[in-house]
Amino acid sequence: MQYIFIVNSNIHKRRKKALEKAVNGLPRDLRYKSNVVYTEHAGHAEELAVTYSEKYGSECIIFACGGDGTVHEVANALAFRNSPMGVIPLGTGNDFARTILPKELYKDPLQILRRLENPMIQPIDLLRIDSYDYLGNHLPSWSRYSLNIASMGLDTLVQAKAKSIVAKHPKSLFFRNNAYTFAAISCLMNGWRYAMDYSIELETGEMIEKKNVSYTLVSICNGRYYGGGFCPAPDAEINDGVLNVCIVDHMSRAKAFSRLMKYKKGKHIGQPGFTFYRSTSGIFNSLNSNMQMQGNYDGEDFFGHKVRFEVIPQAIQMAFFRED
């Protein structure tokens, strides 16, 4: 088995050096089977993953070493391929890793290297997002697979602000670790208003249709966490063939803080202002012909007047690692 570590070159220097040291400290036979490669531009992680998957097939594990953006690229490369994917969370949000890694390995991800020879390879689901313009034309550049969560609304504004905070302080772990909190406070102060129509297919096959819905945000969840630890779907499973959809009603700024704190902690289930569906597919339509819906999948931006989602069961091979 070959071990490919695709490293986002933008991760903090300290984490990069720690990974290099951990790989160099592997036993000789494992070290010879390990290849550390660094991204050089946007989309490079996806290109590298395709190259190594075509070279080694099922005889390699390709690790995304970075944040959720790196995970997103590698997952899109390995969808429907037989090369397993692994995750070593070294980025800012690291939210998908919260779902698949035990706490010990999430807190100390380089301990995964001590378990390289004992992975559990299992297929998991993907979420597919397809975006369309006002005339119904498909937008390929904003249509992708997602391992974790896609969302639209206030949380996407928060994410965009968080990215700008990190960009202004690229060398500061403090700002990286607290970017989402600072961004949320800023966005809550400015207010928001969104409206849409939607149709959702439930896991039972029943169709739900709603018109002129005012909302604060929508999350479509394969995984459980996003946005630096927010937990919109505490019961989500990544291998059950179902997506957990949470629609947060429009709310005043006065109510937003307390409700969103429940949303962050995963304590919003059954609370007023939150609607949940266990779904296999659905469509959201913006009611503003002059403005596309703004969303993100795994932290990467997308836009569309119409957004369609669908679960793709068992579409990617994932390497899991246990605690000692």
Q: What is the CATH number of the domain that holds 135?
A: 2.60.200.40
Instruction: State the helix-helix crossing angle for 44-56 and 68-78, rounded to 10 degrees.
Output: 40
In a domain, 146, yes or no: yes
> What is the per-residue pLDDT for 191?
65
For 250-289, how does the pLDDT look when each residue is reduced to its tens digit (9 = 90+)?
Answer: 887 777 778 888 998 999 998 989 999 999 999 999 998 7
In a domain, 195, yes or no: yes
Q: How many CB atoms lie within 10 A of CB 312?
A: 16
> What is the per-residue pLDDT for 174?
76
In a domain, 218, yes or no: yes
Q: Are residues 184 and 276 in the same domain?
A: yes
Q: 236 to each of 214, 231, 239, how far by Cα in Å?
A: 25, 10, 9
Q: 316 to each of 40, 61, 102, 187, 222, how far by Cα in Å?
A: 25, 12, 20, 35, 13
Q: Are residues 106 and 85 in the same domain?
A: yes
Residue with tokens 């001590």: 114
CA distance 218 to 129: 13
Region label for 311, one of left (φ > 0), alpha (ψ between -120 and 50) or beta (otherwise): beta
> What is the per-residue pLDDT for 93?
79
In a domain, 184, yes or no: yes
Work out how many domains the chain is built from and give that number: 2
Q: Are residues 60 and 88 in the same domain?
A: yes
For 159-170, how does the pLDDT look when each residue is reduced to its tens digit (9 = 90+)?
Answer: 777 878 878 887
Q: Are residues 264 and 226 in the same domain?
A: yes
CA distance 48 to 31: 19
Q: How far apart are the first and last CA of the chain?
A: 22
The boundaries of the domain holding residue 81 are 2-118
| Per-residue pLDDT of the chain in tens (324 residues, 90 and over written 9) | 999 999 999 888 899 999 999 999 999 999 999 999 999 999 999 999 999 999 999 999 999 999 999 999 999 999 999 999 999 999 877 999 999 999 999 999 999 999 999 999 999 999 999 999 999 999 999 999 999 999 998 878 777 778 788 788 877 777 777 777 777 777 777 667 789 999 999 999 999 999 999 998 999 999 999 988 889 999 999 999 999 999 999 887 777 778 888 998 999 998 989 999 999 999 999 998 777 899 999 989 999 999 999 999 999 999 999 876
Q: 169 to each of 18, 110, 179, 282, how far by Cα in Å?
A: 21, 25, 10, 38
- Residue 165's identity, in one-letter code, is I
In a domain, 321, yes or no: no
Q: Are residues 151 and 61 in the same domain?
A: no
> What is the per-residue pLDDT for 170?
76
Q: Is 37:68 a contact under the CB 8 Å cutoff?
A: no
> What is the per-residue pLDDT for 260?
81
Q: Are residues 92 and 152 in the same domain?
A: no
CA 296 to the chain's CA centroid: 9
For 133-158, how does the pLDDT look when each residue is reduced to its tens digit (9 = 90+)?
Answer: 999 999 999 999 999 999 998 878 77
Q: Are residues 72 and 180 in the same domain?
A: no
> What is the per-residue pLDDT for 228?
81
Q: Is 66:96 a contact under the CB 8 Å cutoff?
A: no
| 3-state SS, one letter per residue, for the chain | CEEEEEECCCCCHHHHHHHHHHHHCCCHHHHHCEEEEECCCCCHHHHHHHHHHHHHHHHEEEEEEECHHHHHHHHHHHCCCCCCEEEEECCCCCHHHHHHCCHHHHHCHHHHHHHCCCCEEEEEEEEEEEEECCCCCECHHHCEEECCEEEEEHHHHHHHHHHHHHHHCCCCHHHHHHHHHHHHHHHHHHCCCEEEEEEEEECCCCEEEEEEEEEEEEEEECCCCECCCECCCCCCCCCCCCEEEEEEECCCHHHHHHHHHHHHHCCCCCCCCEEEEEEEEEEEEECCCCCCEEEEECCEEEEECEEEEEEEEEEEEEEECCCC
> What is the per-residue pLDDT for 283?
98
In a domain, 170, yes or no: yes
Q: Are residues 149 and 186 in the same domain?
A: yes
Q: 323 to each of 77, 289, 310, how far by Cα in Å?
A: 28, 51, 33
Q: 178 to each of 68, 112, 128, 168, how far by Cα in Å?
A: 16, 25, 29, 13
